[in-house]
Structure 1
Amino acid sequence: MNRLLNLISYIFHPLLMPLLGVIFYFHKTPRFIPETVVYAKVFSLSILTVLLPILLYFLLKTIKKVESIHLATANERRLPLFINGILILLIINRVLPIDDIPELYYFFLGILISTITCFALALVNFKASIHMIGAAGFFMFAIALSIHFKININGTMALMCIIMGAIATSRLHLKAHTVIELVIGFFVGLLPQLLILNYWI
């Protein structure tokens, strides 16, 4: 059971959620977007949201700023969250400007707001669940796309509810978070995506 719950934490790691949101968008959008553009965006975002953060994690671990990839303490989270915020700003300004693909621009704007909020909470030694932030942000973005494009994603929504339940169970069982940290994480991920809907739907 421990192995399964550990596996869930790694499979649905928050580093993967922004990229999953982008892939989901390109899969569901009815708009014509040239394949070369899709591949270029996915490749760029794979580097900036997954590969580069992993490399930076190993650098931070080498200089003993973090102990594990799960960032177990509020103090460990501050520098990685600050760096991640800079990377998200880079994505918004260079990879997904507002006049390029507005839906993805606002998706990453919501991620930036969640990241800043999580960083602020870490400064006051509150450890909101980054796993729940990532999953809830993707969940709300998927719902927003279904409304925006008038598509049925009931299956995706049901699957995401199961996944979020599995993530919460995993984090509780592994004693990585308390219930309140999971609940706060859920709303820190969901509310920014919800609040900016009016700008692009």
Structure 2
Amino acid sequence: MQIAGATALVTGANRGLGAEFTRQLVARGARVYAAARRPETLEEAPGVTPLTLDVTDPASVAAAAKAAPDVDLVVNNAGIARMTTLVDGDLDDIRAEMETNFFGSLSVVRAFAPAMVERGSGAFVQVVSALSWVPFVGAGGYGASKAAAWMLGESVRAELVERGVEVLTFALAATDTDMMAFSDVPKNDPAVVVAAALDGLAAGAWEVLADDDTRGAKRSVAG
């Protein structure tokens, strides 16, 4: 993927990884639609166009795709973590995690892929988690949704690769964002992991595992 000159869309761009993806894409020469449910919360910056997008609302996703038909790179970053257990956690919270982290991501892919396929080029970056592969007590709903999101990326790649569209799965462990503010565990620097993801995209990688914890998590599945 040639990032310089690309037109990118970043979901969940108002904070955390999304805001960092937006900054680094602009620095690498892309024009960016920064998408969020509340675009007024986005930072104004040259090269950035705010866009209203709620990934759980089909009408909002369709409107975003209509408003941004020139997108050739989508960073599917929007996500939530309600810290739910599967056995006795709130089922509505678990459904919300799945609706955002899996179905929301799928909805964005389905909305923006057709134009990329028609042009014969484009790319998706699917943001997942080390918890896609290892359980963490107290975050079972999140882990299940991210495991589904990981398979989404793998399956979409298989469907799109022969049609000219790249799919990069980007997985990471605890990172210093608002989502992880409650925890004092060691955390990744968002700038470092986002740079790794974009370097991988530019190099044609299909997967970027951002840290040792994530690489260990994926290896543990085979064990």
TM over 0.5: same fold? no
Higher relative contact order (CA 8 A, sep 6+): 1
TM-score (ref. length: structure 1):
0.33
| Higher fraction of strand | 2
